[in-house]
Structures are given as structure tokens and as C-alpha cells.
Amino acid sequence: MDPTYSAEAQAFRAKIKAFLAEHLPADWKGLGALGSAERSAFVESWRTTLAENRLLAVAWPTEYGGVGLSQIEQVIINEEFARAGVPQGVPNDGFGIGMVGPTIMVWGTEEQKKHYIPRILSGEDRWCQGYSEPDAGSDLANLGCRAELDGDEWVVNGQKIWTSAGHTANWIFVLCRTSPHNPKHAGISFLLVPMDQPGVEVRPIVNIIGGHEFNEVFFTDARTPKGNVIGEVDNGWAVANTLLGFERGGRATSLYITYREELDRLLAVADERGATASPMVRQKLAWCHSQVEVMRYLGMRTLTRTLAGDRPGPESSLMKLLWSEYHREVTQLAVDIHGADAMVMAGRAAASGIAGDAVGSPSSSRSWNEVSMRARAGTIYAGTSQVQRNIIGERVLGLPKEPRTDDGPWRRT
């Protein structure tokens, strides 16, 4: 069931391989092989290289600054970059190129597309996601951050939380309540808000391994122009869901490559430590292998649908559920294989870890331990596993919906 790429597509692959060979250091082993300071510097300069060579978002249309290639070329870049262990941009690009850009392309006006899309590519605008609030996570439509029109501007008041990469962003897309008397899903708008203004305060949250990746964001009379609504006013729920499809479906065709590399690294550790003598460990490793293979096949299915022009919809929850639950299990197995040694934070730190560790990462006990703690976040962000199961049940399999008690007006008016 390996996909057959056309000769043209394979020629493009050869070009990408040649680009990587030309621009990466001769001794390149993957992003995970770099120390943390070196890694940040590399990621920034690599983004510049990608922008200069027009390799960011190659399938975006030329009229908005893209290259106008097809999804197949984008998939080939995803695959080759994943194999080489190089990123496709800085962390904020996950929100700009991965989420808000494609969403603006679906819902934005011509003027919004012409303004925002090129600025995402140039890196002038760096985005983060203002969805979750202390009282609105899984029940996202319960959000209470308000936006009210004052002349030609929206005035935003409220709080967001868990805002990843908020401290390196200068724009935030915010779900706001614009009509508090409407039913809760029908009073929300999707606003683009500049962060460099006195009414926006970003406070760090330190995670379980001592890292600063997400934040709280407070809005106190923050302002944004009236025209910065994507989709219609009060139609933000539909826009929000389009974006979540892009968030959950991102890199679905190439994720297995990173997971394969990580699992191969764990197999080597298991062998070195004599753990493969245990039938229990062998059984678990075989399960991990099967999950990575399922990921590969699901990726091919996504590829087929992407090439047919489909946008990621509720089915993206299948891959999100699979990779996040798998990663929690495989990293727990890594900790089990290290046994008591896993309690000693020895060796180099992990390079990443929510969705598969970076290629070239160290196999130190500290690294596996950290990756295992961060893997837990994968089953929470972009919707928890329980929420993905609800989506799969109701929107993919068409099972009866759970009874709802919250379809009246939003309650906190």
C-alpha cells in the first residue's frame, strides 16, 4: 500500500533532498542532537533560509505570496524534513502557517487574505492561539472573553490560558463572546488582535519539567480594528472548528516518520539494557511497532483525501487520538525500561517531546523521563482524548449524540 508518486513528484523530492544536503551542516544528525541554546539559534536561522528559498507553505496561492504548488509537494517536504529532523519554521509558525493562515484562506475576505497571508510567510506576524479559558477548555463554547464594538474598533476584555508560544507572538487569534444573549455557540466571533499594546498582558506558566512554553494572556480594554473579524460576527464557532481541523490534522502524512525514529532509538536502548529478554517488554514493543504502522496507513489515507482536495474535518481526530495516546504509552515504556535509573535525571535534556521527540535526540534517562512527562500534554492539547472520542463517535461514526443540557442561551450574562 505504499503510495506511488509520479515521476514529477519524485523529481521534486530529489530537489528537496539536494536543498537539505546543500544547506544543512555536513555533520547534521537532526535537531535533537543540538543543545538547547544552539537549537533555538538554528531554528531561527533555518526559518530565514526557508523563507528565502520559498519553502514555507509551498501550496499557498501565489497571489498571497505562496508558491502555488500542490499538496503533494507540501507532503514531500513534510516527509523529507521529518526524515532529516529539521523543523518547518519557528514554534509560532505552527499557529500562523499551520492554523490561522489556512483558516483565513477558507473564511477571510480578499482584503484579509492579501494583508495577513504574506505577513505570516515573511515572519512579520507571529501568531498564537487564544481559545482556552479557565472555564472553557473541553467546553470551549462556554468562553467568556468579551468583545464589544466601540466605533471602528473592538474592545476586548477577559482572559485566555495555556497560550503556547504567546511570549514570542505579536498577534493572537481570539475567540470572543460578541453576543452574550445568543445561544452559547451562536454568540462567538473569531478576532485577530495585535499583542503589542498596553491592554494585552502575557504571564508565563512553567510546565512540569520547568520549561516556559505556554502562558496566561489577559485583555484589559485591548483594541483591534472592526475589520479584524474572520467570518461573520457571531459565526466564530464555525471558523473555530475549521481551524481545529487544521490543528488536529497537521502533518498527518509524515508523523509516523518521527515516531519510527523514536521507536528505533528505544529498541536500541531496550537491547542495550537487556530488556528485550522480557516477554512483557517484547509484547509492548510489538504493540508500539503496530501503532506506528497504523499511523503510517492512516497517514496514507489522509494523503489520498488531501490530494482529492478534502480539508481536514472531524476525521483528523482519529490521528490526533492515535498519536497522542501512543506517545504516552511508548514513553512510559521507555521509563519502565530504564527502571530505577529513570529517577536519576542524568545526561542531556529532551529536545521536544509532545508529539514525538526530535530526530537525533539523546537517549539519556533525563531525556526519556522528560519526554514521557511532556507526552501527557499531547492527550490534552487540541482537545483531550475524551473529546476526540466524542467527535469520532458523533461526527465520524454518526452515533447518537449525548444528551445536552447547554443548548439554551449562554448562561453567564
Just list the catalytic residues: 247
Of 409, 332, 313, the residue nearest 374 (C-alpha): 332
Site map (CB under 6 A) of ligand FAD, residues 334-373, x = contact? ----------------------------------------
Site map (CB under 6 A) of ligand FAD, residues 159-198, x = contact? ---xxx----------------------------------
Residue sitting closest to ligand FAD (CB): 137
Q: Which stretch binds ligand FAD (CB under 6 A): 109-117, 257-265, 333-341, 377-385?
A: 377-385
Report the C-alpha dihedral over residues 30, 81, 165, 212, rounded to 10 degrees.
-20
Residue 252, Cα to own-chain centre: how many angstroms? 11
Answer for the pair 33, 330: CB distance below 8 angstroms, yes or no. no
Answer for which of 170, 241, 278, 390 binds ligand FAD (CB under 6 A) is 390
The nearer residue to ligand FAD, 270 or 391, going by C-beta atoms, is: 391
Question: What does 55-116 look like in DSSP terms, one character per residue?
Answer: -SSTTS-GGGT-----HHHHHHHHHHHHHHT--SS-TTHHHIIIIIHHHHHHH--HHHHHHH
Site map (CB under 6 A) of ligand FAD, residues 125-164, x = contact? ----xxxx----xx-----------------------xxx
The span from the CA of 51 to the CA of 28, in Å, is: 20
In degrees, rounded to 5, the angle at the alpha carbon of residue 381 between the alpha carbons of residues 139 and 371 is 155
The span from the CA of 293 to the CA of 296, in Å, is: 5
Q: What is the smallest separation between the CB atom of 380 and ligand FAD, expressed in angstroms? A: 4
Q: What is the smallest separation between the CB atom of 309 and ligand FAD, expressed in angstroms? A: 28
Q: What is the smallest separation between the CB atom of 131 and ligand FAD, expressed in angstroms? A: 3
Q: What is the smallest separation between the CB atom of 162 and ligand FAD, expressed in angstroms? A: 3
The nearer residue to ligand FAD, 33 or 243, going by C-beta atoms, is: 243
What sections of 177-315 are H helices per DSSP?
236-249, 255-272, 279-307
β-strand 200-206 against 212-225: which pairing, if any?
Answer: antiparallel
Residue indicated by cell numbers 511532556: 374
The span from the CA of 297 to the CA of 268, in Å, is: 24
> Residue 139 corresponds to which cell in the numbers above?
467546553
Local structure of 291: helix, strand or coil:
helix
The nearer residue to ligand FAD, 71 or 92, going by C-beta atoms, is: 92
Site map (CB under 6 A) of ligand FAD, residues 86-125, x = contact? ----------------------------------------
The span from the CA of 207 to the CA of 374, in Å, is: 9
Contact between 219 and ligand FAD per CB under 6 A? no
The nearer residue to ligand FAD, 179 or 384, going by C-beta atoms, is: 384
Q: What is the smallest separation between the CB atom of 4 and ligand FAD, expressed in angstroms? A: 37
Local structure of 200: helix, strand or coil:
strand
Answer for the pair 358, 83: CB distance below 8 angstroms, yes or no. no
Integer angstrom CA distances of residue 352 from 216, 237, 371 = 21, 31, 7
Answer for which of 107, 173, 214, 246 binds ligand FAD (CB under 6 A) is 214
Report how many residues bind ligand FAD under the rule CB under 6 A.
Answer: 18
Site map (CB under 6 A) of ligand FAD, residues 23-52, x = contact? ------------------------------
Q: Which stretch binds ligand FAD (CB under 6 A): 53-61, 102-110, 113-121, 379-387?
A: 379-387
Local structure of 278: helix, strand or coil:
coil
Local structure of 396: helix, strand or coil:
helix
The nearer residue to ligand FAD, 129 or 242, going by C-beta atoms, is: 129
The nearer residue to ligand FAD, 168 or 413, going by C-beta atoms, is: 168
Contact between 380 and ligand FAD per CB under 6 A? yes
Residue 173, Cα to own-chain centre: how many angstroms? 15
Residue indicated by cell numbers 480578499: 110
Interface with ligand FAD (CB under 6 A): 129-132, 137-138, 162-164, 214, 377, 380-381, 383-384, 386-387, 390
